[in-house]
Structure 1
Amino acid sequence: MSVLCETDAAKPVSESDRELSKAFLSSEWRIIPLLFCLWMLAWVDRANVAFAKLQMLTDLHFSETAYGLGAGLFFLGYVVMGVPSTALQQRWGARTVISAIAIGWGMTSVAMMFVSSPTVFYALRFLLGAFEAGFYPGVILYFNEWFPTKRRTRNFSIFHSAAICSTIAVGLSGGFVLEHMSGVLGLAGWRWMFVLQAVPTVLLGCVAAVVLPDGPANARWLSAREREMILQSIAEDRQKFAPAPGQSPALFANPMLWMLAGIYFCILTANSALGFFMPTILHEAGFGGYREIGNAIAAICLLGAAGNIAFSTFASRYRDNRWFCAMASLVSVISLMVLVFAWHSNRTTTFCTLVLAIAGTGAGVSLFWQIPTRFLKPGETALAVPLISSISNLAGFLTPWLTGYVRDISGSYASGFITAGAIQAISAVLLVAGIPLIARRMQSNIQATEV
């Protein structure tokens, strides 16, 4: 179970290698754009409430605490349904479940236009999270079936950047809708925003039901030889990066599972703080109208996505991503700390620190999901991935609620963001020191049992 950071040795490119590369490339062009767009729309439908907040709280007389609780309840639904949704994918196939999930969360997001009280707001946010719960861990498992480690790291960073790009879509479209559609047919702009941003999700979910294959064996664009080559490449990769042989503890008793869940929880704490409060931060930093805020968000997230992809692509050259994941987390931590002292006084510094924070959290998430397959056995990942995702997303429930509560009682978001940054700093320590410690202890226990 090596934890050394080393590059793969260069190998001569054979005709077979070129044929395999071509098969992977054709598959990437058919799979990744569709999943990228669905993940972008998922984030649009979960995070557009942050932009709607600029009007909705005044219209409905919601407190910051009520908003934070409603925003966070999405993740409680996510936690409850994460494992069951992924189990359904294992049973019914990726195409059926992913398309059904997308249509379900799209229809729920449309229903957000009818919010009239905190109770309705809470119920719909919980339901939105319950529908979306299986998508992200399902795509992680889906990528494991399609791509070996090096390709998967790069491809997953591209896929995950959709979460950052979604804020571009929210910013540009949200700013336009709030500014120009308020009062159309007697509806507030924030109600129109929920409808117009959710309809594409429903349509793309229907497309996924037709074109998305369950795996390489079902891909009609591949020849029989190409299918066999991809499946063989995946098998060899799993053998290459498999944990050391031996008797591992049952999954729930496996300390590595809980270490990984703790790390991801810490990373998502900062991610949630940024996702649900960025429009408010920009508004308080002096970015004036809805359109200006939307344009700033779009620029921040475009630059952040570029930074995420560039850093993750560089990290994919190395076998051990832990150090790079830790570095990305520390970039986000430093940016959050600077942001707390800058956003009321300097627009340029606020803009730049948000770019770095978005790039850091994005790369941290992208690189994190390449780590579990190195420390968990292949048979464990189908349950471990949704478990880690579900448990860790409790951060998404706690962070916006506590940040909103702190704002109500103190008049400032500063304490909430400092806390989020401090928690993410813990993830860097656990990545660098915690994982090797657990790995050594597990290996010692295995050796002692064998003796």
Structure 2
Amino acid sequence: MINTEKLYARVGWRLLPFLFVCYVVAYLDRVNVGFAKLQMQADLQLSDTVYGLGAGIFFIGYFLFEVPANLLLLRVGARRWIARIMASWGLLSAGMMFASSPASFYALRFLLGVAEAGFFPGVILYLTYWYPAQRRARIVAIFMSGVAVAGVVGGPVSGWIMSHFAGQAGLAGWQWLFLLEGLPAVALGVLTLAVLDDGIDDARWLDDEEKALLKHELARDGAPRAQWSLRHVFGSSRVWILALMYFLFVMGLYGVGFWLPQLIRNAGVQDVLDIGLLTAIPYGVAALAMIAVARHSDRSGERRWHAALPAFIGAAGLVASTHYAHHPQLALAALSVATAGILSTFPVFWSIPTAMLGGAAAAAGIAMINSLGNLAGFVSPYLVGAIKDATQSTANGMLLLAASLAAGGALVLACVGRQGEVL
């Protein structure tokens, strides 16, 4: 008789390490502009408003192509489509080294968003092909901890690249940053073709009995997940409510992601390598917190408070970071609490729509929630930059992000049941 836990452990070791590394690279390529800003802003003479708009315009391209990209994944297959996404975004991320003006900065960031559209919702959809709902929060947490690890690894690596390579071959440190952090995605895109399978039936490393057991576990999810038409998905109030929740949470995520290096500099740290090393601390704390919260949510079956409470904690951490803005140790502690709270909301959140939607509805619904929610990635850095230009301080911008997180937590409490059902 097959041991179910051992089988899932085998599936996990086959899929998760590779997908995790892909997400580390994807997220790093998305937010390394926050480190590049420390040198690029002066070189290209960009205002904080221009930087915020350029950082956020990524998400306009992302928004426009997200749903079509996820529907194409259903048609083309996860293996080939994820490989295409990774190779194209890697080339465009490396191409950011050629930004020479606000216009080219905007254009390259927009195209990078177009190239990456579909990766995150595609992987979330792909994991539903393998894992039933009761296992999904912890699995998504392991995958999404790539965000935290990108912060742990990316900060020191980005700081080292910018300080070590500056001036070599006539290129600035920020140009080397984009080049050296973009090319790994191209290599991973090629590897995807060898590592991933489109689904259980295509996995040659499983025998027929193991495939049957995995399918049986998926079938035990309970009531069939909604196999709605696309028109039904776009007209569903529950999908729109989930998109609004996600938007409010993502406001906090990218506010911190794009501005954390600047916040640490504002606290009195000037060397880019030191800033890179210090950004690893909040993300390291967050990696541990998000896995612990997701595991507890899966074991208890409770979703509502496991999504809302971390959002409130994240908001409190951002407020505290403004209060201690000129005390490096206290500011870093507050930012660690904020980052841990913010990131811990996401794995539990994604267990809600993936339990509700199936088939083409899942592909469209997950992509729609992700694309609409990620518009906050455009709004958040732009507003923080504009507020900083207007007030000469990032404090009011952080308070805006804290309010957004608190509103997201309150919306979860108002609209989601204990086990994740949207009311």
* TM-score relative to the length of structure 2: 0.95
Letter in 1 for 2:298: S
Secondary structure of the structure 2 residue equivalent to 1:371: helix
Provide closer, same or farther for how the CA distance between residues 72 and 364 of structure 1 changes in structure 2, counting only shifts above 3 A. Answer: same
Gaps of 5+ in 1: 1-14, 443-451
User: Is the 8 Å Cα contact of residues 102 and 205 (structure 1) preserved in structure 2?
Assistant: yes
Counterpart in 2 of 1:394?
375
Structure 1 SS opposite 2:300: coil
| Contact 2:35/2:158 (<8 A) preserved | yes
Cα displacement string for residues 37-78 of structure 1 (whole angstroms, at most 9, x for unaligned residues): 111101110100000100000111111011000000011111
Matched, 1:197 2:181: yes
2:201 is matched with 217
Please list, as runs of the form range in 1=range in 2, the aligned pairs for 1:33-182 lying within 5 A after superposition: 33-182=17-166
* Corresponding residue for residue 323 of structure 2: 341
Q: Which amino acid aligns with 2:367?
A: P
Q: Tell whether 2:232 aligns with 1:232.
A: no
Partners of 1:350 and 1:94 lie apart in 2 by 42
**Offset of residue 413 of structure 1:** 1.1
Structure 2: which 5+ residue stretches go unaligned?
Answer: none
Give 1:242 shift. Answer: 4.8
Q: Is the 8 A contact 2:78 2:197 kept in 1?
A: yes
* Equivalent of 1:414 in 388, 395, 403: 395
Query: Residues 192-234 of structure 1: CA distance to partner in whole angstroms, max 9, x if unpaired?
Result: 0111111111111110122210111111111111011101111
Task: Give, in whole Å, the separation in 2 of the partners of 1:77 and 1:377.
Answer: 26
1:339, CA displacement in angstroms? 0.8
- The CA deviation string for residues 320-351 of structure 1, in whole angstroms up to 9 with x for no partner, is 3121100111110110111111122x111111
Q: Which runs of 4+ in 1 moved over 6 A?
A: 439-442
AA partner of residue 398 (structure 1): V
Distance 1:206 1:376, change over 3 A: closer
1:419 Cα deviation after fit: 0.9
User: What percent identity do the matched residue pairs reach?
Assistant: 37
1:359-382 CA distance string (max 9 Å, x none): 111110111000113444666222
Partner Cα separation in structure 2 for residue 379 and residue 76 of structure 1 = 23
| 8 Å contact from structure 1 (residues 51, 170) kept in 2 | no
1:188 matches 2:172 = yes
Stretch of structure 1 that moved more, 191-200 or 293-302: 293-302
CA contact (8 A) 1:241 1:373 kept: no
In structure 2, give the amino acid aligned to 1:394: L
C-alpha RMSD of matched pairs (Å): 2.2
Question: Partner letter of residue 331 of structure 2?
Answer: T
Larger radius of gyration: 1
Superposed CA offset, 1:146-165 (max 9, x none): 11123221111010010111
- Change in Cα spacing, 1:430 to 1:183, as seen in structure 2 (3 Å) is same
Equivalent-residue separation in structure 2 for 1:30 and 1:175 (angstroms): 32
Distance apart, 1:241 and its partner CA: 7.6
Change in CA separation of 1:373 and 1:64 when aligned onto 2, cut-off 3 Å = same
Q: Which residue of 1 aligns with 2:254?
A: 272
Query: Taking structure 1 as the reference length, what is the TM-score of the superposition?
Result: 0.90
Partner of 2:337: 356
Measure the CA separation in 2 of the matches of 1:246 and 1:118. 43
